[in-house]
Amino acid sequence: MLDTGEARDFIRMETACDVSYKFPDSNNTFMGKSINISGSGILFTSKQFIDSGIALEVSIIPDRSITPPMVAYVEVIRTKEITPGEFEVAAEIKGIKES
């Protein structure tokens, strides 16, 4: 078995691509930046605080146009303020939307 030194089930990959997200039953879309992603979760920035337990539809927009965006359904695990008006959002991936 591969030993990655990672205490989690999946390796986290550093990313720095755009993320759009929206709340269920809403047409309002908000923007952020991904920090890292794994097979079970995503960490991204947001301009607003998002309560734990909230469901979101997140679209991860790759830097390369040949790669299509990935749309995932997530549950927010925690949000912390990293600078005034900027938050770091940790979310668990619950499902991937088929294209």
Residues 97 and 84: their CA atoms lie apart, in Å, by 33
CATH of 13-96, one of 3.40.605.10, 3.40.190.10, 3.30.70.1230, 2.40.10.220: 2.40.10.220
pTM of the predicted model as reported, rounded to 2 decimal places? 0.81
Task: Parse the chain into domains and list their residue ranges.
Answer: 13-96
Q: What does the pLDDT profile of the chain (99 residues) look like in tens digits?
A: 344 444 555 666 667 789 999 998 899 999 999 998 887 899 999 999 999 999 999 998 887 777 778 899 999 999 999 999 999 999 999 998 876
Residue that is written with structure tokens 């309560």 in the block: 51
State in Å, rounded, how far the first CA of the chain is from the last one: 32
